[in-house]
Amino acid sequence: MTEIAANLERVRAQTAEAAKKSGRSSDEIELVAISKTHEAEKVRAAFDAGQQLFGESRVQEARAKIPLLPSAARWHFVGRLQKNKVRHALPLFELFHSVDSLELAQQMNRIAVEEGSRPRILLEVNVAGEGSKIGFAPDVLSAEMEALLDLPRLTIEGLMTIPPLAPEAEASRRYFIALRELREQLAAEFQMQLPQLSMGMSDDFVVAIEEGATLVRVGTAIFGKRTPLRLRNPAGDFDAT
Ligand X SMILES: *Cc1c(COP(=O)(O)O)cnc(C)c1O
Among the residue ranges 2-10, 101-109, 179-187, 233-241, the one whose residues contact ligand X (CB under 6 A): 233-241
Closest distance between ligand X and the C-beta of residue 35, in Å? 9
Contacts by 41-48, CB closer than 8 A, 24 or more apart:
42/4, 42/223, 43/69, 43/73, 44/68, 44/69, 44/70, 45/2, 45/4, 45/5, 46/4, 46/5, 46/8, 46/222, 46/223, 47/72, 47/73, 48/5
Select from 36, 38, 65, 153 the one that contacts ligand X (CB under 6 A).
Answer: 36
Contacts of 114 (CB under 8 A, 6+ apart): none
Of residues 162, 199, 207, 213, which one binds ligand X by CB under 6 A? 162
Q: Could you give the CA distance from residue 173 to residue 211 in angstroms, rounded to a whole number?
A: 7
Closest listed residue to residue 222, CA positions, set 22, 73, 31: 31
**Residue 240 interacts with ligand X (CB under 6 A): yes or no:** yes
The H or E element spanning position 34 is strand 30-34
**Closest chain position to ligand X (CB):** 219
Q: With contacts defined by CB under 6 A, name the span among 21-29, 45-53, 136-144, 212-220 that binds ligand X.
A: 212-220
Of the candidate residues 4, 78, 186, 215, the single one contacting ligand X (CB under 6 A): 78
Smallest separation (angstroms) from ligand X to the CB of 89: 15
Binding mask 40-59 for ligand X (x = CB under 6 A): -----------------x--
Query: Bridge-partner residues for 217, per DSSP?
Result: 32
Residues in touch with ligand X (CB under 6 A):
34, 36, 57, 78-79, 162, 201-202, 217-221, 238-240
